Structure 1
């Protein structure tokens, strides 16, 4: 169960919910000029002296938000989830930064639950348990098994249930207090559709960005920090998690996702980098006026054009799990034997028989788009013929497996989204923007004590 759940928890950490992610913290950028520095506006003396030993950057992991206590245990258990999401590879210095971010996230979550209660919105324990059971089911586990897994890894079911409560409560607050006041006109929707038609065939990129501001004095240090973040992500860290923690752009709230953009919509430096990248690749740090950007190419496509990666596949997955304690050398030997046997596959009809001889599991997958597969497999799938299989892939923790191509429905030319689809997307975007402002105001009005 560990191999299944560790990957599942990683996905859960990236966004157990949708609204909570979309309403994360917003960076505020202040600009100053040599003639009018911010310190002058704030009436801060040049030769200041700090009286007392308090350091606002060093805080214990406890706080009281409008009278409600967040304990160190609360923070530790949520931090454990983040560490699992990063594959357990978090250095001590990075752990301290993550702890502060986790505390900020729990504060936001608490404010959301409190605002819901102030509007007579409460989530029943039964609703929370039902959602927890669905999450466990998605991870191919019972609620009890999932709870045990979390406890063994330093977290708890209460931590995820708290996230679920915050999410459901905030959704209902927005449904009552924000959504009724969001309007999108017919002219706006038609304008978007017209622009999509005019852009047909042009290349679009879905880009993630982590923006780090800098000054001439600290640019070298910021660039080095950016390189360290890139290295952590390449070693298995979550780009979305790092974007929420470090990015100073407003898109930090949604894991750095800029959405689908065309090169002309990006600064020249970013456009040049993105056009040289492949999906799944990290780029940067890219120097910009006032800072550096780390880029992640999530996907690319041609507007309203047929894309081979939109082909729909029917697949058989054949896999063998390694026994606990298997060494890399032993895993390689099993994988080599597995690969030799798989070469004998002649179409999907023979797959079940070969799998039975190997003691392997077979899973049928229909309706899988090439685009939704990991980048390493997409190019392989594009060149496979029906009946052929991928090379073996996997890891010591997950076992070894192959995908056999049983059928392919090629992509057709893209259709312009319907009027209702475009309107729904525009309304969602506006709700999310107002939700971020709503949460910002809750922070400003909150009474928060740090212990």
Structure 2
């Protein structure tokens, strides 16, 4: 079970599709006189007059009179670990525990703010969302989810509390921010005009985990970044790690910066993004103030049809390897398969070759190129009608090829309509204002630690 975190505001997902609108949250710029750090007038070389002992940090809190217990933290920490199948060191667990406490404090403030606005989230709403989580993650009833949580050291109450917080905050934001946020048609038309002026330029849909560092702890932060990358490459979810570890303001959105042109990124990140393949993670990349871990979600050309939206008509030829086939034997069989498919002359000829090879044939129409595995996308885009791809597969799954029988190329550009752009820009404003709203709640809160 993965990605158990629930984002009840559909707008948060839409934020990721924002075209060429920088979020202003890339925190890796060199400080100048206008930055908050400069205004604090902190000396460049500071002396700390007390020992910073992590073991002495207090583990629980009272937020405006409401207690967050150690059990609350344990259950939420277990939920995160179980949902992301994370294997963390003790140091990483300690850091994650502190982050969980901060999340629970924010969650408590959000629920309290809903209550002060006479916004009630009844138990039926919470149970309905809990039921949908069970269905989407287990395709079964809530009993399986209850069992999963308890077996992994968490509890149904912990997840329901998270659901409560997100539903409550969504209602607060809708009432106090969403209803007062407007974008003019003139602003939208200006953005669209700039997009059209940039037609054909590359842009990248990227996400980032930003880790601040100083000269004294740079090596330690770099190693922490490497461990995060290893966890993600072993199956961890990038968005979940960004939510827990990133210090950029994009952390609540899973680190997503949205669609952005290279020139709007710091030079080090721009260079990395332009050299990455879709789906690749790069880093830790040293930048002013710390390190970034970059994830390239997608890339495209502005206001130009995306060739990966082409719809393909395909025939797949596949043969299985007998049980006990060694890798060397599989390679030999695949070589003969490759020689045979090289003689295919059009889709009409594919059935004859398949019969000679004893291969199964499957037809698939209307397949989007971007829905194919990344390793095959470029191959299929370069094939002519009637040609077959290079063989692919594994010892366990056999060897196969795709024969291109037809292709319908996309005609539309990726420039959004005025209505789509207006909705995205409004959601961008709402999200930024919601972050300021929560920041102000933190400032006014009375929090004591135990």
Distance, in Å, in 2 between the alignment partners of 1:238 and 1:440 is 26
Distance (whole Å) between structure 2 residues aligned to residue 57 and residue 32 of structure 1: 35
Matched, 1:419 2:418: yes
Gaps of 5+ in 1: 1-5, 318-328, 350-365
2:306 touches 2:414 (CA, 8 Å); kept in 1? no
Change (3 A) 1:46 1:208: closer
In structure 2, the CA distance between the partners of 1:130 and 1:218, relative to structure 1 (3 Å rule), is: closer
For the residues of structure 2 that align with 1:40 and 1:58, how far apart are their CA atoms? 27
Counterparts of 1:197 and 1:61, CA distance in 2: 52
Contact conserved, 1:348 with 1:404, CA < 8 A, in 2?
Answer: no
Change (3 A) 1:64 1:391: farther
Contact 1:386 1:408 in 2 (8 A): no
Tell whether the 8 Å contact from 1:19 to 1:171 is kept in structure 2 after alignment. Answer: no
What's the offset of the Cα at 1:381? Answer: 6.2
CA contact (8 A) 1:313 1:409 kept: yes
Structure 2: distance between partners of 1:11 and 1:367: 30
Q: Deviations over 1:376-413 (max 9, x none)?
A: 56457657989999955799xxx999999999754333
Task: Find the aligned partners of 1:229 and 1:343 in 2 and give their Cα distance.
Answer: 46
* CA shift in 2, pair 1:310/1:227, >3 Å: same
Residue 174 of structure 2 is matched in structure 1 by 175
Query: How do 1:141-160 and structure 2 match up within 5 A?
Result: 141-160=140-159
Question: Structure 2 CA distance, aligned partners of 1:403 and 1:68?
Answer: 61
How far apart, in 2, do the equivalents of 1:155 and 1:373 lie? 37
2:254 aligned with 1:262, yes or no?
no
Cα distance in 2, alignment partners of residues 114 and 47 from structure 1: 39
Structure 2: distance between partners of 1:400 and 1:156: 43
Query: Is the Cα–Cα contact under 8 Å of residues 7 and 166 in structure 2 kept in the other structure?
Result: no
What is the CA–CA distance in structure 2 between the aligned matches of 1:149 and 1:438, rounded to whole Å?
Answer: 35
Q: Please give the per-residue CA displacement for 1:80-110, whole angstroms capped at 9, x wherever unaligned.
A: 2221233232222211111111111121111
**Deviation (angstroms), 1:193:** 0.7
Q: What does residue 13 of structure 1 align with?
A: 5
Secondary structure at the counterpart of residue 275 of structure 1: helix
Cα distance in 2 between the residues matched to 1:76 and 1:407: 55
* Aligned pairs, number: 401
Shift of 1:367: 7.5
Runs of 4+ in 1 over 6 A off after TM superposition: 19-22, 26-30, 37-40, 45-48, 313-317, 329-333, 339-343, 383-390, 399-408
Using the size of structure 1 for normalisation, the TM-score is: 0.74
1:108 aligns with 2:106: yes
Residue number in structure 2 paired with 1:119: 117
Aligned-partner Cα distance in 1 for 2:436–2:380: 44
| 2:359 is equivalent to residue 344 of structure 1 | yes
Change (3 A) 1:343 1:146: farther
Any conservation in 2 of the 1:209–1:257 contact (CA below 8 Å)? yes
2:349 alignment partner in structure 1: none
Q: 1:438 to 1:108 in 2, by over 3 A?
A: same
Q: CA deviation at 1:46?
A: 7.4
Listed one character per residue, the Cα deviations across residues 357-388 of structure 1 (whole Å, up to 9, x for unaligned) are xxxxxxxxx98744356645645765798999
Superimposed CA distance per residue, residues 400-433 of structure 1 (whole angstroms, 9 cap, x where no aligned partner):
9999999975433315311111111000000000
Q: How does 1:224-263 map to 2 (within 5 A)?
A: 224-263=223-262
180-189 vs 369-378, greater mean Cα deviation: 369-378
Output aligned runs, 1:6-405, within 5 Å.
6=1, 10-13=2-5, 15=7, 49-50=49-50, 55=53, 58-59=56-57, 61-139=59-137, 140-312=139-311, 344-348=359-363, 369-371=368-370, 375-376=374-375, 378-379=377-378
| 8 Å Cα contact 2:3/2:237 also seen in 1 | no
Go from structure 1 to structure 2 and tell me whether the alpha carbon gap of 1:166 and 1:301 turns closer, same or farther (over 3 Å shift): same
- Rounded to whole Å, the distance in 2 between the matches of 1:114 and 1:387 is 63
- Structure 1 range deviating more: 109-118 or 367-376: 367-376
Q: Quick one: distance in 2 between partners of 1:179 and 1:377?
A: 43
TM-score by length of 2: 0.74
How far apart, in 1, do the equivalents of 2:40 and 2:184 lie?
A: 44
Q: Could you tell me whether the CA contact under 8 Å between 2:326 and 2:395 is conserved in 1?
A: no
Q: Report which stretch shifted further, 307-316 or 156-165.
A: 307-316
